[in-house]
Structure 1
Amino acid sequence: MRALVLNCTLKPSPGESNTDLLADVVVEALQEEKVDVDRVRLADLTIKPGVSSDEGTGDDWPGIHQQLLDSEILVVATPTWVGRPSSIAQRMLERMDAMLSETDDEGRPVAYNKVAGIVVTGNEDGAHHVISEICGGLVDIGYTIPGQAWTYWNKGPGPGPSYSETDEGHDWSAKTGRAMASNLVAVARALAANPVPAPPG
């Protein structure tokens, strides 16, 4: 089984990503379940605006699209900015929109029988709103979202330290992240054994 982690931080490598640090917890838990994990920081790539799987010369999205097709598990990791997912997370969803019209050999949308979860960090409030925004888009595209398939760390209202600058709340976020990984694997295995069929004609 393979998982893909798409980090939607606004910081290109090698800048420190608080979102990446919390995603580490989920990645380690997935690897303990014998899942192969690929990680991509989308800010390092050229992701052109658009709603197709290939927007032409210089577009790095086709490689990500192939990784999405090759993975049973997707983890979207995003910071909270002004109470919302990052602009990169929004562009990711816009590009994934093309998957709605792509089908497999049995006529199913290509995201069917794949599961997804969300990791959110931010030194402000809004994590539940960010989770609902990302989950809503992924469900539209065809992903299955298991129960409690998310973890987050948000400092709360007003300015404050980032995830890497304090230990406050880390234990809860890590425990929730491990539960998220367990639930993702359990549902991915269930779908592999009993796939969702193609939609009726």
Structure 2
Amino acid sequence: MSKQSLPPAQYADLCAVFINTTLKPSPEPSHTEVLMEVSQAIMRAQGVKVEHIRAADHVLAPGVQPDMTEHGFQRDDWPKLYAQVKQADTLVIGSPIWLGERSSICSSVIERLYAQSADLNDKGQYVYYGKVGGCIVTGNEDGVKHVATGVLYALQHLGYTIPPQADAGWIGEAGPGPSYGDRQDDGSRVGFANDFTQRNTTFMTWNLLHLARLLKDAGGIPAYGNLREQWDAGNHFDHPNPEYR
């Protein structure tokens, strides 16, 4: 089989949003962003519309309501960010590791995604149904799989579909040490030559693309069995307990 075989589909009509939840505002360098750029480059090469958001550049008021200015806060940038997320076929969340956990900003982004959990799509399903989710994690201490577990669980619980191997990350050697984008004595970046990280990031990206393509072509997730309005109206989709009302 040729190593230069062509992709099995076209992806130029897809849109992906990457949210970097580094604690650093722009223009401070972000190692998480540098690794996210690998995935973004693969998508852009396929014609995918890619949007990158650095959450630290925005004011995300704490809370789980769609617009927290209606709940006492002076400013909340989430509504305009949500407009970008809502129109995207794919969402990738990137987070650094601090004390073995995702960043506080990452948790805030997930809370604000949850704020829209009552919204519905055109079929009457929860709004994130039919969309694909993944995550990228960086740091120089243990925690990639732990952070990915929490982020991917949250995304699927909100309605995102998670493909196989939907995460990628970099920690280098366990313990304090070089971060992904740090330069070595010869000027090269530490993580750029790491085959494990580059392979996983590539596989993750293509799995996101393939599943987003399949879902878009299929019109999303079938609506039977997951419509809140019909459940509330008494259609319980073959629920096995006849006494349940």
Decide: shared fold, TM above 0.5: yes
1:20 is matched with which residue? 33
Amino acid at match of 2:147: V
**Identity, % of aligned positions:** 38
Amino acid at match of 1:73: T
1:33-74 deviation per Cα after TM superposition (whole angstroms, max 9, x unaligned): 221000010001000001012111411000111111110000
Conserved? CA contact 2:121–2:128, under 8 Å: no
Conserved? CA contact 2:141–2:175, under 8 Å: yes
Deviation at 1:99, TM superposition (A): 2.5
Asked if 1:7 is matched to 2:20, the reply is yes
Aligned partner (choices 195, 206, 217) of residue 171 of structure 1:
195
Distance 2:146 2:200 in 1: 17
Asked if 1:186 is matched to 2:224, the reply is no
Distance 1:125 1:155 in 2: 9
Question: Structure 2 vs 1, CA of residues 156 and 52 (structure 1 numbering), >3 Å: closer, same or farther?
Answer: farther
Conserved? CA contact 1:3–1:36, under 8 Å: yes
Question: Structure 2 vs 1, CA of residues 94 and 87 (structure 1 numbering), >3 Å: closer, same or farther?
Answer: same
Aligned partner (choices 155, 163, 184) of residue 146 of structure 1:
163
Aligned length: 201
1:93-146 deviation per Cα after TM superposition (whole angstroms, max 9, x unaligned): 111112221102221111000001110000101100000010011011000110
Distance 1:133 1:92 in 2: 13
Amino acid at match of 1:27: Q
1:102 is matched with which residue? 119
Distance 2:43 2:166 in 1: 12
175-184 vs 73-82, greater mean Cα deviation? 175-184
Deviation at 1:154, TM superposition (A): 0.8
Q: Which has the higher contact order (CA 8 A, sep 6+)?
A: 1
Counterpart secondary structure, 1:164: coil
Structure-to-structure mapping, 1:1-201, within 5 angstroms: 1-56=14-69, 57-165=74-182, 167=190, 170-194=194-218, 195-198=220-223, 199-200=226-227, 201=231
Q: Which has the higher strand share?
A: 1
Q: Which has the higher helix share?
A: 1
Distance 2:202 2:174 in 1: 26
TM-score by length of 1: 0.96
Amino acid at match of 1:22: L
Conserved? CA contact 1:121–1:154, under 8 Å: yes
Which sections of structure 2, spanning at least 5 residues, go unmatched?
Answer: 1-13, 185-189, 232-245
Deviation at 1:6, TM superposition (A): 0.1
Counterpart secondary structure, 2:66: coil
Distance 2:209 2:27 in 1: 30
Deviation at 1:197, TM superposition (A): 2.5
Q: Extract structure 1 runs of 4+ deviating beyond 3 A.
A: none
What's the RMSD between the two structures over aligned residues?
1.3
Counterpart secondary structure, 1:177: helix
TM-score by length of 2: 0.79
191-200 vs 86-95, greater mean Cα deviation? 191-200
181-190 vs 56-65, greater mean Cα deviation? 56-65
